[in-house]
Amino acid sequence: MSSDAGPGPVASSPATSGPVTSGPVASSFVASSFVASGRALTGVQPGETLRLAGEWGEHQRHGRRFQVTACERIVPSTVRAIQLYLGSGLIRGIGPRLAQAIVGHFGERTLTVIDTAPERLTEVLNIGPARQSQIVEAWREQKAIAGLMVVLQGYGVSPLLAAKIYQVYGTDSADVLASDPYQLIGRVRGVAFHTADRIALQSGVPRESPQRIKAALLDRLENAAAGGGHCYLSLTALVAQTAELVEQDPDQVRPMVDALAAERRVVVEAGPDQVVVYAKELHAREVKLAGELGRLWQARSTLPLRPFTEDPGLHDDQRAAVTMALTSTVSVLTGGPGCGKSHTVRVIAATVRAMGGTVTLAAPTGKAAKRLSELTGLPAMTVHRMLAHQPDPDALFDQAPAQADLVVVDEASMLDLHLATRLCSAIPSGSHLLLVGDSDQLPSIGPGSVLADVLRVEEIPRVRLTHVFRQAEGSGIIRGAHLIRAGELPPLPGGGGFWFEELDDPAAVAERVVHLATVAIPRKQGVEPGQVQVLCPMRKGAAGTAELGRLIQDRLNPARDGAPEHWSGSSVYRVGDRVMPIRNNYDKGVFNGETGTVTRLVPEERLLEIRIDDGDTVTYGFDELDDLTHAYAISVHRSQGSEYPFVVAPIVVEAGGVMLRRRLLYTLVTRARSWVVLVGERKALELAVHRLGGRRNTGLPRRLSLAVG
């Protein structure tokens, strides 16, 4: 199967009757033998017959392997293959039992009957007119997708994108590919510039086409936001990056920036020392957020101030924070672990309530909100749920307010530009907004660095808690975290819940991490493996989230005979899997960073059900699984706002060396409550401690300074 990355996936060798030598071959196989063996041939359904071209060879870790360079799908022809094919969940309305009944009735002519005489399906028991119509519609859709896959393969593009393209464009998909493939960028997940560009160039679009260059400019801005959290790029950098991407002279690229600005798709702005370029939406949100924060800061407080009794147990900086929150309509409380942020919030909230005011406590994720509630003893909710009554989650203007005299948002480092804009737009003038967070943690997954930007504006009141309380002083995790924040290497191998195991080989690191997470720590601590979370600085490589997650899934929730499972790309979903939404879905009421468990998988309905940890049950269709990821091993970024009893993490230079930075390591360590075990290379740990991350490109500090000045 071809892909943008070059040679196709690696398949495990099926049993052979004689010796097989390395070299080019072409053979036909029934897909079940490959799907059962591992991650090979992503997107292939059980029962499909494939003609594969490639080479047999030896893999260092997995032994005899078949490197696939081309894949051709052949219509299943045997009864067994047809039954597997129909029962795989590919056709909505047909599960394994119904597939057996259909094939039992029509035999080898089954697919011909569905294709040419679908009315005959009602001859099968339990298929009435409604089910028959559902099957026919799903069959036609799959035929269209199969045809689209052939078209994509002709362009040298991964056929796995066919279903995603069809989901957006339907029967117009082929016309879109032929006329303007660049419009797929941003609308079809998984289609970036290089994919659309390959299609366009093979369709005859000139390399110097304005359409092509404008698409590349927008792609570079999107890549800067998604990959680096930047709200803008300098004009110089944008032109240079785009010129390199399209292999054109910068003089041909620069006029296209002006063309996009004239079309109001980007905003070109003169900064203090350079000209910068924003995508239109990010510019609008940044301007809006600065204006809303300025409105809140300048408003006269409506908080009913009355005399109150100070808590005698507060430290001086905690008392200063209480006074600040009660007297400032916008303020920030920050500090590291063990410094009493949560207790301070509890005192602030209790004081406001004692004075007759109302308080809303919120956090960006469900886990962070639950943790805030546990630590303060007060009700808390996610920011999304606080804003859920608003009719348009993506609207920039005229949003309904969250009615409270004081709104406290914990884990504010997680607020990206989008969520912060919605939040501040919803708070009425006169209410107080207190942002609480650790400014030394990673910034948000989405674009912007809101907490850090607000702290750069001198006019906004802030208190930083620095006193580590006695009950926290004995924690090796807290001691280690404060040393890392200061740029110092903690004592190794550690103690008091902070441990480092030195291993140099990434594959050995991965095996040790899996053993610790699934066997050693659960056995030693008498807990379930679900109490141990694996966090990774990187996604790729032997010690990345993808490979570690696969290994842990195989240990904790392997395939079982007769149990349903569904492959989506290179991932397989089973009942009992730990999963995490990676995109907000306001209709479902689930948000990025929450975790849950797959409780039900129904191939014939092409859906699975998930029980979110907060108790809600949500349904995902098989065509929505790009919105999920397995949670056996997750990135440090996705762990923000969460706390786990036990954390195990690989620390290797390998593929994730570029990610090893102080903020990431500090965030990782502070996710653990009882134990954190780091496994890997000492040089990687030293690199992470001493390397500082770069600042994101945002204009919020300058705009906010003007708004409050």
**259-266: long-range contacts at Cβ-Cβ below 8 A with a sequence spacing of 24 or more?**
259/210, 259/214, 260/214, 260/217, 260/218, 265/214, 265/218, 266/217, 266/218, 266/221
C-alpha pair distances (Å), 459 with each of 257, 319, 456, 701: 35, 20, 9, 11
Residue 58 has pLDDT above 90, yes or no: no
Residue 509 contacts residue 650 (beta carbons within 8 Å):
yes
pLDDT at 31: 47
Whether residue 338 is annotated as binding a ligand: the answer is yes
The pLDDT tens digits for 474-533 are 689 999 999 999 999 999 998 889 999 999 999 999 999 999 999 999 999 999 999 999
Pairing between strand 381-382 and 359-363? parallel
The pLDDT tens digits for 81-139 are 888 888 877 788 888 889 999 999 999 999 899 989 999 999 998 899 999 998 999 88
Band of residue 15 on the pLDDT scale cut at 50, 70, 90: very low
**Which residues pair with residue 275 across a beta bridge?**
270
The pLDDT tens digits for 677-707 are 999 999 999 999 999 888 999 999 999 999 9
The pLDDT tens digits for 530-585 are 999 999 999 888 999 999 999 999 999 999 988 888 888 788 999 999 999 988 78
Band of residue 33 on the pLDDT scale cut at 50, 70, 90: very low
The domains of the chain, with CATH numbers, are 35-73 (no CATH), 206-296 (1.10.10.2220), 301-387+400-469 (3.40.50.300), 476-557+571-690 (3.40.50.300)
Tokens of 195: 């994919």
Considering the chain, what percentage of its residues have pLDDT values greater than 70?
89
Residue 193 contacts residue 245 (beta carbons within 8 Å):
yes
Considering the chain, what percentage of its residues have pLDDT values greater than 90?
59
Whether residue 341 is annotated as binding a ligand: the answer is yes
**pTM of the full structure:** 0.85
Whether residue 340 is annotated as binding a ligand: the answer is yes
Helix (H, G, I), strand (E, B) or coil at 141: helix
What letter represents residue 594's amino acid?
E
pLDDT at 391: 45
The pLDDT tens digits for 340-389 are 999 999 999 999 999 989 999 999 888 888 888 988 888 888 888 888 75
Cα distance between residue 212 and residue 335, in whole Å: 47
- Tell me the average pLDDT of the chain: 86
Burial of residue 544, with CB atoms counted within 10 A of its CB: 0-12 exposed, 13-18 middle, 19 or more buried:
buried
pLDDT at 473: 65
Cα distance between residue 226 and residue 446, in whole Å: 7
Band of residue 460 on the pLDDT scale cut at 50, 70, 90: very high
pLDDT at 424: 95
Cα distance between residue 147 and residue 165, in whole Å: 12
pLDDT at 440: 93
pLDDT at 40: 37
Residue 145 has pLDDT above 70, yes or no: yes
